[in-house]
Structure 1
């Protein structure tokens, strides 16, 4: 009986420690997403190395694929200087799924305000969703890949999941 209680105590302690670490990791990742949003809203992406890996990649909303931090930072800053300089991004929700102790998938919902394309087209504000991959390097969570899409409100009405039985 005494051994059973000791084993149970050890298992509960390990479970509690794991849950605490997972909560700390989720909070750390959410903080990194906030850093990305802050860069957007300041229109200054020179600090991306603080929340992205050097080999990060990004597929933007229209399918452009940037393959390392230098390209991601340059292209993002280019568009913020030329197209997004008056936009704001609002964090509408972050969902973190820890895959293993050094890898996490994040779904990040946001709202990006109206902007004007280089050829003068006004694009209305939209809800977007991004799939982000984070890795833990030297104790810090960094984004290593991302892709975002506009949430199409017309198509969303036809999502089969809305009609799926429980």
Structure 2
């Protein structure tokens, strides 16, 4: 059983749109690929048919996984959140104490993460290490490259 994950309204809508696209266009394309492969002759020796069946199976698996994610998704109600702590959907300004570099991150659900856009997952090592911290706190986080220390400069929504 999956746990509930919280999303921004935009992030949840993006997941729903992707799911709808896979159900409509993805399934239609898979069916067309199967029809074309079936028309090429003997199914017992038709590698193209086998590949199309495998692709259809992977598509259905992806649809099933997205349905589960969307089914367990909730839009975060920010009205009752403690704005002094780092939580999901917090914008956090950090200072890397090793090199004094200042970073800005938005903590989001795993499916919304995009490092290039400054969005990190709350399930990532850095996201986990920041959760519950307050401005002025120092977070010591173990990442694959070693141990990092961040000072939390600012938390906003």
TM above 0.5, yes or no, is no
Structure possessing the higher radius of gyration over alpha carbons: 2
Larger helix share, 1 or 2: 2
TM-score, normalization by structure 1: 0.25
Larger strand share, 1 or 2: 1
TM-score, normalization by structure 2: 0.26
Q: More relative contact order in 1 or in 2 (CA 8 Å, sep 6+)?
A: 2
